[in-house]
Structure 1
Amino acid sequence: MPHLLITDDEQATRELIAEIAVEEGYTVAQAGDIRQARIQIERHKPDVLLLDMTLPDGNGIELWKRLALDDCQVVFITGHSSADSAIEALRCGAVDYLTKPISLRRLKTILADLKTAAPAAKRPAAEPGKDAFSRIVGSSPAIQLFCAYVEKVAPTQATVLLVGESGTGKELAAEAIHLSSTRRDQPFMAVNCGAISPNLIESELFGHEKGSFTGADRQHKGYFEKAHGGTLFLDEITEMSMEMQVRLLRVLETGRFMRVGAHEEIVTDVRVVAATNRNPEQAVAKGTLREDLYHRLSVFPLVLPPLRERENDILLIADHFLQALNKEYGTTKRFAEEARQAMVSYAWPGNVRELRNYVYRSYILADDVIEGNFNSFSLESHSTGWGSEITVPVGVPLADANRQLILATLKQCGGVKKAAAEMLGISLKTLYNRLEEYDAHTDVDESSSSVR
């Protein structure tokens, strides 16, 4: 099944094209600007690219020239219908171009033609597991063991529950499971349950019929329908309402669902990989995760190791990010030994995501050598004087105000309890007692108190 990336700054245009493309047999990803397009291309190289010539953060044609995507066919979209724009598009290797407002008939014709000619439709199926772990960098025992478990569970149809701190790479792990499975040639779709409005999540997951609610001006297919035959990654599963958890459980048990406003069930063949950055058993105890759904999702639970448990991988990952930036911008920047030592000694409470941001920020600031004097933790050392504030309404009980202050201070200190206790002017024992009262001691890493 060929993969299509739609890059256009108009959301309505993207969604309309996406619905038509899915009906034409494509898997689809969307991007609203160049930055998002690069992210989507890194996740899944497209066979066909629909690319707006003018984007908020740059020129679509210049992006296409820099990408150098082999075996990818591009169709440019332009808001200015002219011979010059058409010639410019074709000179850049476009197979066709579309003008706004887009003709749906012409769009369907182009997509049908490209599907027939798309390299993805002609390539033999990839070998199981091939390149599945190409984006998971590391050689530490912790990450090697994790990858070994992924290789074991991927060929099965078991649902997987990924548990790990924010920034540990849960979506990459879910994608590795998909690419190592027999579903690797079918859609992989990721949904952040915490980022979707509670009023919309039912429609997003299961779809809706035209006229089923105000604003539903056409039929909409949900993720369970779009991901048919493939893998659906549900991130932040504990942020889903209890009512939606009941519906999700039923789909997992029966393989059937109904669109909002529909009366007939739809059969779906989707493998679900769920994820949470919380302790799932504690979430069950707190009532934010149904116990029956927890057991249904955790047929095969996997815990992603935090970066502090992958000490040998820190420099490998940092070098990986830096090499990618050097390649993209044609530079040869490198880390000074001081910076390398500092990275290894830091706790990285934000895990791989924080390390990636540090490398990017340091790359921007450096000329040729990335020194150790401007990094994420040197900024943090000055943060106590920046006057971070929390707002407590008048009349809030003192105990609640204390709770907000303690947890906010702990967060600002990156989870380091000793530093938070010193900032608050209380003993470390008192801080531990307070956290136990708040039942928050599992939300902040225990081992980080030994750092510094």
Structure 2
Amino acid sequence: MTQNFGICLIEDDEIVGEALSDRFMLEGLRCDWFKDGSSAIAALRQQRYDAVVCDIQLPDIDGETVFATLKDMAVDLPPFIFTTAYGSIDRAVNLLKQGACDFLTKPLDVRVLLERLDKLFEHGQPAVGPGLGLGVSLSMRHIESLLPRLAARSGSILITGESGVGKEEVSRAIHRLADPESQQPFVAVNCGALTETLLEAELFGYVKGAYTGASRDKKGCFELAHGGTLFLDEIGEMSPGMQVKLLRVLQDKEIMRVGGDAPIHVDIRLICATHQDLKHLVEVGRFREDLYYRVHVVHVHVPPLRERRDDILWLARKFLAQNEATHHESCTLTSEAEWALLDYPWPGNVRELKHCLERACILHDTTQMTPQMLFGQAETQTDTAVAAAVLDNSGSLGDYLNQCERKYLENRLIANAWRIGETATSLGIGRKSLWEKMKKLEIEPPR
């Protein structure tokens, strides 16, 4: 463990806590030691750590409650390793199902704990500052783990994904990591929103008298982004003529203002984004192959929201918290509203989710949001899906009932963050019965 990874240690036992914190520091790890759950929660909301080692039995609240509270707050959690002298198989399984990384019993074998941590840090980079806040799903956590390496290098980055998935948010996260003190510029341009002539003037600037209305010299986005990051969104919409000019700039690292004759040196980090398949555009002759290889040095694909459902409620709570901070209006989601959000396919992805919540907050003066307020209709998406299944008489009654039950249980499990005990209680059945139903319906918890 040669890198300066950060550990959040939550342990009320003075002897165990002091021994572990000393050992972590000897191993070259940063360690913040908290003796109760409340202070640890406050720290984890403000500071980013690479792992948490948490005792179950704490003086104020138990470790399981610490974990659940942070998840409910939509905090971007690092891997949790739980420790306890009161180990039980059921509790360990429950914690792992909730998303914990590991569960160790006391007396601790420090060697085993260090091996677990070493495994976690094997392919990662030390956390710096607050979390990036891109999501809690495995796919978004994987993207976050890549970004520090990308930020440390100045090569071109291509971000792909459907419209609204958050490509610009990823680019801004890279910029924040590269410039933690916010000293460098970040300039974003939508290439699909401007004609070729306007885009050239926007990117490269112009000199006075270059064309009618050019009454003064104007810097372009390349000059404005000098020393920082230039984000070119929808680069697939760029015309062939502009592609040639962009390629020349990337090769020479110089731009020429429209109407000017003096080259201007620029030093930028270029991040491009598109919802299109650039390789296919190259094959059909709509995108230059040489430019493709210039911008495709590193490729980051952001999956659509429907493929990372774990992010839906996390993002929804994040947007509602932002609305509360801006407008001082507190609002939460009913359990039915959460199920409706989870069941909706979100063709507009994160952008559509954000606008859906903004619209509901504007139109409804309430502290609790219902499905009807969110979607503006009397029936939820689950109702629509069930109605469609009723009309489909191609299968047997048993198949139809299994389909409905599976969908219902999956929504309940996701709404409860896959906490088996809480889900079983909300359903009015025992944990064993829920496990049996999950096995029968082939419902697998996320890994």
* Range class of TM-score, shorter chain: 0.5 to 0.7
2:206 alignment partner, SS class: coil
How is 1:210-221 mapped onto 2 (pairs within 5 angstroms)?
Answer: 210-221=208-219
Matched, 1:334 2:332: yes
Question: Does structure 2 conserve the Cα–Cα contact (< 8 Å) formed by 1:232 and 1:271?
Answer: yes
8 A Cα contact 2:346 2:352, kept in partner: yes
The residue aligned with 2:143 is: 146
CA RMSD of the aligned region, Å? 2.5
Counterpart check, 1:352 vs 2:350 = yes
Alignment CA distance shift 1:155-1:182 (3 Å)? farther
SS state of the match for residue 294, structure 1? Answer: helix
Flag the structure with larger Rg: 2
Aligned equivalents of 2:173 and 2:331: distance in 1? Answer: 30
**Match of 2:197, SS?**
coil
Question: Counterparts of 1:239 and 1:381 in 2: how far apart (Å)?
Answer: 36
Quick one: structure 1 residues 261 and 331, their matched pair in 2 at CA, closer, same or farther if it must change by over 3 Å? closer
Q: State the alpha-carbon separation in 2 of the partners of residues 289 and 175 from structure 1.
A: 25
SS of equivalent residue, structure 2 residue 311: helix
For structure 1, the residue ranges without an aligned partner over 5 or more in a row are 1-126, 383-415, 423-452
Q: Deviations over 1:128-170 (max 9, x none)?
A: 953471xx34211010011112122111011100001111111
Contact 2:371/2:380 (<8 A) preserved = no
| Residue among 172, 184, 188 paired with 1:175 | 172
SS in 2 for 1:191: strand
Which residue does 2:192 correspond to in 1?
194
Residue type of the alignment partner of 1:373: Q
Indicate if the aligned counterparts of 1:132 and 1:176 stay in contact, CA closer than 8 A: no
Q: State the alpha-carbon separation in 1 of the partners of residues 285 and 148 from structure 2.
A: 33
**In 1: Cα distance, 2:239 partner to 2:379 partner:** 36
1:370 corresponds in structure 2 to 369
Q: Given that residues 134 and 144 in structure 2 are in contact (C-alpha distance below 8 angstroms), is that contact kept between their aligned partners in structure 1?
A: no
Q: Distance in 1 between matches of 2:197 and 2:251?
A: 24
Q: Quote how far apart the aligned CAs of 1:377 are.
A: 7.8
For 2:134 and 2:174, the matched residues in 1 are separated by 15
Rounded to whole Å, the distance in 1 between the matches of 2:206 and 2:229 is 21
SS in 1 for 2:282: helix
What residue in structure 1 maps to residue 437 of structure 2?
none
The residue that corresponds to 1:322 in the other structure is 320
Counterpart of 2:360, as a letter, is S
Contact 1:137/1:316, CA 8 A, preserved across alignment: no
Shift of the alpha carbon at 1:330? 2.4
Shift of 1:367: 3.6
The 3-state SS of whatever aligns with 2:272 is strand
CA distance in 1, matches of 2:127, 2:263: 33
In the alignment, what sits opposite 1:439?
none
Q: Choose from 238, 252, 255 the match for 1:254.
A: 252
> Partner letter of residue 178 of structure 1?
H
Secondary structure, counterpart of 1:234 in structure 2:
strand
Distance 1:233 1:128, change over 3 A: farther
Match of 1:158 in 2: 155
CA–CA separation in structure 1 for the residues paired with 2:324 and 2:173: 26
Percentage of matched positions with identical amino acids: 42
User: CA-to-partner distance for each residue in 1:53-101, whole Å, 9 max, x for gaps?
Assistant: xxxxxxxxxxxxxxxxxxxxxxxxxxxxxxxxxxxxxxxxxxxxxxxxx
**2:226 matched to which residue of 1?**
228
Task: Compute the displacement of 1:347 (Å).
Answer: 0.8
Query: Residues 132 and 177 of structure 1 are in contact (CA less than 8 Å); yes or no, is this contact kept in structure 2?
Result: no
Where does residue 311 of structure 2 map in the other structure?
313
> In structure 1, what is the Cα distance between the partners aligned to 2:347 and 2:254?
40
Structure 2 counterpart SS, 1:179 = helix
Q: Following the alignment from structure 2 to structure 1, what is the Cα–Cα distance between the partners of residues 220 and 310?
A: 42
Separation (CA, whole Å) in 1 of partners of 2:374 and 2:283: 39
In structure 1, C-alpha distance between the alignment counterparts of 2:375 and 2:285, rounded to whole Å: 36
- Give the match's secondary structure for 1:156: coil
Give SS of 1:348's match: coil
**Alignment partners' CA distance in 2, 1:131 and 1:311:** 23
- 1:278-289 matches, within 5 Å, as 278-289=276-287
Q: Could you say if the C-alpha distance between residues 381 and 333 of structure 1 is closer, same or farther in structure 2, counting changes exceeding 3 Å?
A: closer
Quick one: which of 268, 276, 293 aligns to 1:270?
Answer: 268
Alpha-carbon distance in 2 for matches of 1:366, 1:298: 45
Deviation at 1:274, TM superposition (A): 0.4
Query: Alignment partner of 1:374: what SS?
Result: helix
CA, structure 1 residues 366+151, in 2 after alignment: closer, same or farther (shift >3 Å)? same
- Flag the 1:193–1:308 CA change in 2: closer, same or farther, 3 A: same
Would the aligned equivalents of 1:209 and 1:260 in 2 still touch at CA under 8 Å?
yes
CA distance in 2, matches of 1:163, 1:335: 31
CA contact (8 A) 2:206 2:219 kept: yes
Shift of 1:353: 0.4
Offset at residue 194 of structure 1 (A): 1.0
Change beyond 3 A, Cα 1:207–1:373: same
Aligned partners of 2:333, 2:263: CA distance in 1, in Å?
A: 57
Please give the TM-score of this superposition, normalised by the length of structure 2: 0.54
| Distance 1:299-1:218 versus aligned 2 partners, 3 A rule | same
CA distance in 2, matches of 1:295, 1:380: 48
Deviation string, structure 1 residues 196-237 (Cα, Å, up to 9, x no partner): 222211111111111111211111111111111111000010
Confirm or deny: 8 A CA contact 1:132 1:179 kept in the other structure. Answer: no
> Matched residues in 2 for 1:328 and 1:180: separation?
25
Paired with 1:129 and 1:206, the residues of 2 have a C-alpha distance of: 35
Residue 360 of structure 1, CA deviation: 1.1
Cα contact 1:245–1:290 (8 A) shared by 2: yes
CA distance in 1, matches of 2:239, 2:214: 22
Q: Secondary structure at the match of 1:180?
A: helix
Aligned counterparts, 1:402-421, within 5 A: none
Post-superposition CA distance 1:244-290 (Å, at most 9, x none)? 11111111111012111111211111111000011111222232221
In 1, distance between residues paired with 2:154 and 2:163? 26
d(CA) in 2 for partners of 1:296 and 1:337?
48
Q: CA deviation at 1:185?
A: 2.1
